[in-house]
Amino acid sequence: MKKIIVAIDGFSSTGKSTLAKQLAKRLGYTYIDSGAMYRAITLYFLRHEIALTDKTQIKNAIEKITLHFENNEICLNDENVEKEIRSMEISNLVSEVSALEDVRTFAVAQQQKIGKKKGLVMDGRDIGTTVFPNAELKIYLHANEKTRTQRRFDEMKIKNSLITLDEVRDNLKHRDLIDSTREISPLKKADDAIVLDNSELTMEEQLEISFNWVMDLKNSN
Ligand code: DC
């Protein structure tokens, strides 16, 4: 059967990565977490104290960055940084870094290169609108604020026992605002994306629904 590209977009902590990973596994496809790429770039910027207002520093920094995935884990210049990029420090800065034009040009080019092979599930904010506007299936994932905050809190609590629900909610709201109002490729539903509200769905239910969408598409072609 012909391989396709599945684009999954939505706000932070709607469960995109979990769904995308499971769907890719079930289809035997590659999974790419595009947010991890922006997080790894943010980590590099933090480590090297790159000023986000200095275009030359940004350009020079990007030239020194290589990204690749190993078993779904992101490597920055061949170092596995999967754990480090999930910290609150990175979460607090990543929306600002990912709004920069040069950063987006670099990340999108890498994502499109990976997509040449098809057989791919990629999640992010602009996958269905900018990275793969011709993706065969576009899912726009939605979950209500309470569900998203609780999910993110449960995830963060394992690593940081001092974190509070308010802190997590504030970070989500801050990122929602920047991600959906930035000038370049803001988060928005592609016209031809299907909305999936998973606030009341189990992981298995969402997986079944999206897997069936892929099968329907394949059978109709
Ligand atoms: O999916 P995530 O929360 O790990 O993504 C981290 C940040 O990266 C998010 O706040 C916005 C940015 N991002 C983006 O701008 N475009 C994407 N395709 C994916 C993520």
What is the CB neighbour count within 10 angstroms for residue 126?
A: 25
pLDDT band at residue 136 under the 50/70/90 scheme: very high
* Most ligand 1 atoms within 8 A of CB, residue of 33, 94, 95, 127 to mutate: 94
Residue 27 CA to residue 120 CA, distance in Å, equals 9
Q: Whose CA is nearest to atom 20 of ligand 1?
A: 35
Q: What is the pLDDT of residues 194-204, one digit of tens each?
A: 999 999 999 99
The mean of the pLDDT values for the chain is 95
* pLDDT for residue 108: 98
% of the chain beyond a pLDDT of 90:
89
Q: Tell how far the Cα of 116 is from the centroid of ligand 1, in angstroms.
A: 21
Q: Tell how far the Cα of 1 is from the centroid of ligand 1, in angstroms.
A: 31
For residue 38, give every residue at least 6 positions away whose Cβ sits within 8 Å of its Cβ, in sequence order, or none: 94, 97, 98, 103, 107
pLDDT band at residue 79 under the 50/70/90 scheme: very high
Q: Which residues of 136-159 are buried (b: 16+ CB within 10 A; e: fewer)?
A: bbbbbbbbeeebbbebbbeebeee
Architecture of domain 5-216: 3-Layer(aba) Sandwich (3.40)
Q: Whose CA is nearest to atom 9 of ligand 1?
A: 95
Using DSSP's 3-state secondary structure scheme, residue 202 falls into: coil
Q: Tell how far the Cα of 97 is from the centroid of ligand 1, in angstroms.
A: 10
User: What token pair was written down for 184?
Assistant: 């370049």
User: What token pair was written down for 150?
Assistant: 């609780």
Cβ < 6 A, ligand 1 pocket: 12, 34-35, 38-39, 94-95, 98, 124-127, 175, 179
Residue 1 has pLDDT above 80, yes or no: no
Average pLDDT score over residue span 178-207: 95
Strand partners, 1: none
Q: Tell how far the Cα of 94 is from the centroid of ligand 1, in angstroms.
A: 7
* Per-domain boundaries in the chain: 5-216
From the CA of 16, give the closest atom in ligand 1.
1
Q: Whose CA is nearest to atom 16 of ligand 1?
A: 125
* pLDDT for residue 36: 97
Q: What is the pLDDT of residues 104-129, one digit of tens each?
A: 999 999 999 999 988 999 999 999 99
Q: Whose CA is nearest to atom 6 of ligand 1?
A: 35
From the CA of 36, give the closest atom in ligand 1.
4
Residue 221 has pLDDT above 80, yes or no: no
Q: CA angle at residue 132 from 128 to 135, to 5 degrees?
A: 75
Residue 66 has pLDDT above 90, yes or no: yes
Q: Whose CA is nearest to atom 13 of ligand 1?
A: 35
Average pLDDT score over residue span 149-168: 90
For 212, what's the count of Cα atoms within 13 Å in the CB-facing half-sphere? 7
pLDDT band at residue 39 under the 50/70/90 scheme: very high
What is the CB neighbour count within 10 angstroms for residue 132?
A: 21
